[in-house]
């Protein structure tokens, strides 16, 4: 109550509202009696207006009409005013009915004597009061908006101020576009002027939102941009699918106009959008296909209330895997990582950001057999996702023994422990670089796939998942390009013709989770990833998205292929047959059944184990040339690079 009474503007609003209540009450009399109030009715008005005033102001206070900041009056506030006015009118009418009913009672108060009221007065009074009380708040909102930004009323804009503002064209005349216009107008520090909308909905063309016209559809983007002298385009279609987004971006680039996009609808909840939240178009918008949505019910079926071990949980893939898995309510997440900082990061995120307490963080290596035995014995995981691996191609070319130790020996170690301790599902995270590999990293991952197929046939269902480059992951080319653009260039591309498959981190992790639900022993899953994307096109797009022009503002330089780098990646190697799964976007690759010419799985396994044992000995000796030669024996499609290691 003290805070209420100390409200700095209450001394103005209470008298104003009180004056409006009395005026509306008097106007209701005027309208009711056609501007000629009989003397007896005027006398009744004089006797009763104080009671009407007290009743209405009391109810207004109960409805918290004096707690808001009137400069931010919204539709919700006006609805609250309507409720307060309606309630007060109903209560007053009920009071009049009761008073008139007891006119002849000997104990009635003297003020009720001769009391007569046309009840229509209160209906008229209610309507007038709502218009007056609500209108006052709207006027205050408009006044402060005008003071902070003259753009609310286009006819009042000063020419010199308009010249200093960027002229914005918004694509998308929907909810997101409407919020953007309001935010731009309400924020005096923003130097933007929204001049028009574009939208493919023909019913919107020719209409306007907050006095901003919808001038045409997307096909007229170039014409509208030139005619309206547009400085920047804002894409306000957060839910746009990739084909539509690519169409919009191609149109913007043809116009030569910088462009940005609003965040997704999840970031617009409750209208809390801010222009500061505008982001550059992320290249995941340009995958050339719609993001894949997988079958969550099947995933839930084998993860819910299960104990799950994740190796490498601090990496890009492992951490997203953990974030997604908590939705399926596992009994416990066992996190094993050799990098202290990464493990601490995902632990803190689960604990404080997701509020997930059912985890066990273990610092250690997948090559430590004794540690693995203790982990499997103590926590008894039922599902294992093996995402721990070295993945940087050039680094593994210089240090091939580390690829053998971590990617091959570590993978075999955890496969063997999973089988020994009765794990139900084992999923190996692989890569498209394992297909006809040109580098040590890809060859080491292919050997890991072969080990998985050699170990298949036990009570543990063992599967692998193979996918392309993950947008925004550690080591991804996009963060590198962004840093180079921020420094003013140049942007370095290895070769003008190099292409890659891309997928989002979310898609990659959904694919990994889905694999456990779909797979059988030895299966290798891949995602239908659309058309591969040229890295040169990606570099140009990112430069455009930064509001700059390739070749003029930011140069692109070709530095040659990195050691072990291929011009293009593949998802399928010779001898693997594609078999459809129950999910239309996921395929499974089956081995040809020849077991590399060894006739059966047993012979194949003996040959493979002898080979990897030789690899381990060579890795202990840090003999890079011999390691490459041995990898070539195990992975016949591997093409080693002629180069020296760090030793």
Q: In degrees rounded to 5, what are phi and psi of residue 542?
A: -65, -35
Angle at 484 between CA 478 and CA 490, to 5 degrees: 120
Tell me the torsion sign for CA atoms 608, 612, 613, 615: positive
Q: Is 433 a catalytic residue?
A: yes
Location of structure tokens 């399928």: 572
Quick check: 403 and 439 in contact, CB under 8 A? Answer: no
**Cβ burial, residue 61 (10 Å; 0-12/13-18/19+):** middle
Structure letter (DSSP) for residue 113: T
State how beta strands 577-580 and 586-590 pair: antiparallel
Quick check: 302 and 334 in contact, CB under 8 A? Answer: no
Q: What H or E segment, with its residue span, contains residue 192?
A: strand 192-198
Quick check: 432 and 501 in contact, CB under 8 A? Answer: yes
Task: Using alpha carbons, select from 319, 593, 622, 580 the residue that is nearest to residue 456.
Answer: 593
Quick check: 361 and 335 in contact, CB under 8 A? Answer: yes
Give the dihedral of Cα atoms 49, 54, 60, 66; nearest 10 deg: 110
Location of structure tokens 């307060």: 84
What is the end-to-end Cα distance of the chain in Å, rounded? 78
> Catalytic pick from 433, 445, 566, 630?
433
Quick check: 448 and 428 in contact, CB under 8 A? Answer: yes
Tell me the torsion sign for CA atoms 527, 531, 534, 539: negative
At 191 the three-state DSSP class reads coil
Quick check: 376 and 311 in contact, CB under 8 A? Answer: no
- Integer CA distances (angstroms), 422 to 253, 415, 416, 555, in order: 56, 11, 10, 56
Active site members:
433
């Amino acid at each position: 109550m003290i805070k209420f009474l100390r409200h700095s503007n209450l001394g103005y609003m209470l008298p104003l509202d009180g004056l409006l209540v009395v005026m509306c009450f008097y106007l209701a009399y005027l309208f009711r009696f056609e501007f000629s109030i009989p003397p007896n009715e005027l006398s009744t008005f004089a006797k009763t207006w104080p009671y009407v005033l007290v009743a209405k102001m009391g109810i207004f206070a109960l409805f918290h009409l004096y707690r808001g900041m009137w400069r931010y009056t919204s539709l919700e506030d006006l609805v609250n005013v309507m409720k307060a006015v309606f309630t007060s009118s109903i209560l007053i009418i009920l009071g009049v009915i009761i008073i008139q009913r007891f006119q002849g009672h000997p104990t009635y108060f003297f003020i009720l004597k001769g009391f007569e009221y046309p009840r229509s007065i209160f209906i008229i009074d209610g309507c007038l009061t709502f218009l007056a009380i609500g209108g006052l708040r709207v006027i205050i909102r408009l006044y402060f908006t005008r003071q902070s930004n003259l753009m609310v009323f286009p006819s009042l804009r000063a020419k010199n101020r308009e010249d200093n503002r960027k002229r914005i064209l918004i694509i998308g005349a929907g909810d997101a576009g409407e919020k953007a216009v309001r935010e731009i107008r309400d924020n005096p520090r923003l130097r933007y002027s929204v001049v028009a909308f574009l939208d493919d909905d023909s019913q919107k063309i020719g209409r306007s939102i907050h006095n901003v016209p919808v001038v045409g559809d997307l096909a007229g983007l170039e014409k509208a941009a030139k005619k309206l002298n547009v400085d920047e385009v804002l894409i306000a279609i957060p839910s746009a699918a990739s084909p539509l987004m690519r169409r919009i971006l191609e149109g913007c680039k043809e116009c030569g106009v910088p462009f940005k996009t609003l965040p997704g609808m999840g970031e617009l909840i409750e209208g809390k959008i801010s222009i500061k939240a505008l982001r550059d178009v992320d290249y995941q918008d340009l995958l050339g296909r719609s993001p894949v949505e997988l079958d969550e019910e099947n995933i839930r079926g084998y993860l819910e209330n299960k104990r799950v071990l994740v190796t490498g949980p601090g990496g890009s893939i492992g951490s997203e895997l953990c974030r997604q898995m908590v939705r399926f309510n596992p009994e416990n997440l066992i996190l094993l990582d050799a990098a202290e900082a990464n493990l601490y990061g995902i632990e803190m995120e689960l604990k404080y950001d997701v509020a997930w307490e059912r985890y066990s963080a273990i610092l250690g290596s997948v090559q430590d057999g004794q540690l693995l035995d203790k982990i499997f014995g103590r926590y008894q995981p039922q599902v294992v996702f093996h995402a721990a691996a070295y993945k940087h191609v050039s680094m593994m070319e210089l240090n091939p023994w580390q690829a053998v130790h971590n990617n091959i020996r570590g993978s075999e170690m955890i496969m063997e422990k999973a089988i020994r301790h009765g794990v139900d599902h084992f999923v190996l995270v692989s890569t498209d670089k394992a297909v006809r590999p040109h580098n040590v990293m890809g060859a080491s991952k292919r050997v890991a796939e072969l080990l998985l197929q050699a170990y298949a046939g036990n009570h543990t269902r063992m599967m692998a998942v193979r996918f392309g480059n993950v947008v925004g992951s550690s080591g991804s080319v996009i963060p590198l390009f962004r840093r180079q653009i921020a420094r003013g260039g140049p942007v370095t591309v290895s070769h003008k013709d190099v292409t890659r498959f891309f997928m989002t981190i979310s898609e990659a992790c959904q694919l990994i989770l889905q694999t456990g639900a779909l797979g059988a022993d030895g299966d290798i899953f891949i995602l239908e990833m659309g058309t591969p994307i040229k890295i040169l096109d990606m570099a140009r797009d990112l430069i455009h998205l930064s509001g700059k022009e390739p070749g003029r503002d930011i140069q692109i330089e070709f530095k040659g292929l990195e050691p072990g780098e291929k011009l293009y990646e593949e998802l399928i190697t010779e001898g693997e047959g594609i078999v459809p799964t129950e999910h239309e976007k996921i395929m499974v690759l089956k081995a040809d059944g020849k077991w590399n010419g060894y006739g059966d799985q047993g012979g194949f396994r003996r040959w493979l184990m002898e080979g990897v044992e030789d690899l381990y000995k060579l890795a202990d000796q840090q003999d890079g040339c011999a390691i490459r030669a041995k990898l070539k024996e195990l992975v016949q499609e591997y093409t080693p690079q002629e180069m020296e290691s760090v030793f």
